[in-house]
Amino acid sequence: MLNVVIFGAPGSGKGTQSERLIDEYGLHHISTGEVLRDHISRGTELGHIADSYISKGQLIPDDLMVKVLAAVLDENPEKTAGGVIFDGFPRTVPQAEALKKMLADRGTKVHAVVGLEVPEDELVRRMLQRGKDTGRADDNLDTITNRLKVYHSQTSPLREYYINEGKYHAIDGSGEVDRIFNDIKSRLDGAK
């Protein structure tokens, strides 16, 4: 079993690399952003709440987000048993603490954190392109600017947090998708 957190700024390639990792390691993918977007498109109560934060580029409050993740984990016990790739969670230190506890309660832990490190100008370029390609509503320049600010203030401290836990694997996340994937793979194979 291998539980991996894929970590990085918005636009760093977490979703793209997660898809490759699922194929390679047979992991179950949990993208909290996708879970929330699904609620928004179905018009659920959570979707309405989430939309009010996502459209401004803000984070959903920790207590709500932790409940959402716990529900996803408990919905799919057999799917998550072989290992999970956590994409977009945790995004704050309290979320990382909550994840640690949730996994400990289920007899497991985070085995490795893959940190995709990408220069800011490339992040912005990629998100603007994704906005054009997919119509994703929060990939517009105003929201992107705020998401990056939020990343620096609330999410980037997790890098230090996971370095201190001895779990952080820094990956150069700019350039070719295949080269990045091979770098991740060699780090994970070494961490297993």
Residues forming the active site: 14, 91, 130, 136, 147
Site string for ligand AMP, 119-148 (x = CB under 6 A): -------------------x--------x-
Is residue 91 a contact residue for ligand AMP (CB under 6 A)? yes
CB of 190 to ligand AMP, least distance (A): 27
Return left, alpha or beta for 166; rule: phi > 0 is left, psi -120 to 50 is alpha, else beta.
left
The 3-state DSSP class for residue 112 equals: strand
Position of tokens 């979703």? 15
Is residue 36 a contact residue for ligand AMP (CB under 6 A)? yes
- Sheet architecture: strand order including 28-31: 28-31, 84-87, 4-8, 112-117, 168-172
- Binding residues for ligand AMP, rule CB under 6 A, total 17
Q: Which DSSP string do the residues of 9-58 spell out, in sequence order? A: STTSSHHHHHHHHHHHH-PEEEEHHHHHHHHHHHT-HHHHHHHHHHTTTP
Q: Which of 88, 99, 110, 144 binds ligand AMP (CB under 6 A)?
A: 88
Q: Which amino acid is at 121?
A: D
Residue number, nearest CB to ligand AMP: 33
CB of 89 to ligand AMP, least distance (A): 4
CB 88 within 8 A of CB 33: yes
- Residues from 49 through 78 that contact ligand AMP (CB under 6 A): 53-54, 57-60, 65
Is residue 32 a contact residue for ligand AMP (CB under 6 A)? yes
CB of 122 to ligand AMP, least distance (A): 16
Q: Which is nearer to ligand AMP, 98 or 112 (CB)?
A: 98
Q: Which of 8, 13, 33, 115 binds ligand AMP (CB under 6 A)?
A: 33
Return the biggest CA–CA distance within the chain. Answer: 43
Residues 6+ apart with CB under 8 A from 186: none
List interacting residues with ligand AMP (CB under 6 A).
10, 32-33, 36, 53-54, 57-60, 65, 88-89, 91, 95, 138, 147
